[in-house]
């Protein structure tokens, strides 16, 4: 299983990097893909180097993760390559995970329609006709959504549970979670 975490300028640090950290602890192949330049700056002014820049290779991944953060979530939503990728992943029933404001891309792609989803309060009107939940993490078939920064660890563990359930307890124990 391969996981791609999308990084657009202004992404939420904890939501992206917590997911990468937990998945890598579990031995999952997880790469960060910057949407523009390999160097990308978070919403809290931390500049880092992504593993890769968005390219066709991403279509071979099994899971795509969209962190929130401003303007990162808007930058993802407004990138047609991201929207097309989400539609393709959804049509193949691949896992799509989005947290905080990240689910607004699901709304634009039309894949949150009729689904149980969550997001950061105030963005729910951008999710389309969905069943909005006020839970930390919500799973509906191949869609995993998280509410905000406080959900970063449970969100990452839910992704891990979907792809390598045998690793969850081991990593939780090692992290004292």
Two structure tokens written together for 102 = 């990240």
For the chain, the first-to-last Cα distance in angstroms comes to 24
- β-strand pairing of 137-140 with 95-99: unpaired
- The H-or-E segment that residue 22 falls in is helix 13-25
Number of Cβ within 10 Å of residue 150's Cβ equals 12
Q: Is 129 exposed, middle or buried (0-12, 13-18, 19+ CB in 10 A)?
A: exposed
Active site residue 30: no
Q: How many residues does the chain have?
A: 177
Of the candidates 30, 100, 119, 130, the residue annotated as catalytic is 100
Q: What residues act catalytically?
A: 100
């Amino acid at each position: 299983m391969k996981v791609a975490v999308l990084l657009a300028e202004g992404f939420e640090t904890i939501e992206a990097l917590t997911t990468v950290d937990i998945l890598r602890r579990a031995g999952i192949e997880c790469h960060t893909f910057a949407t523009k330049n390999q160097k990308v700056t978070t919403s809290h002014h931390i500049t880092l180097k992504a593993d890769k820049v968005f390219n066709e290779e991403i279509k071979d991944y099994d899971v795509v993760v969209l962190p929130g953060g401003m303007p990162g979530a808007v930058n993802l939503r407004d990138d047609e390559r991201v929207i097309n990728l989400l539609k393709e992943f959804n049509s193949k029933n691949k896992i799509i995970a989005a947290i905080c404001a990240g689910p607004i891309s699901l709304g634009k792609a039309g894949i949150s329609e009729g689904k149980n989803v969550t997001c950061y309060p105030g963005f729910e009107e951008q999710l389309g006709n969905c069943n909005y939940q006020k839970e930390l993490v919500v799973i509906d078939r191949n869609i995993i959504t998280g509410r905000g920064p406080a959900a970063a660890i449970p969100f990452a563990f839910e992704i891990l549970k979907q792809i390598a359930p045998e690793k969850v307890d081991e990593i939780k124990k090692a992290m004292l979670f």
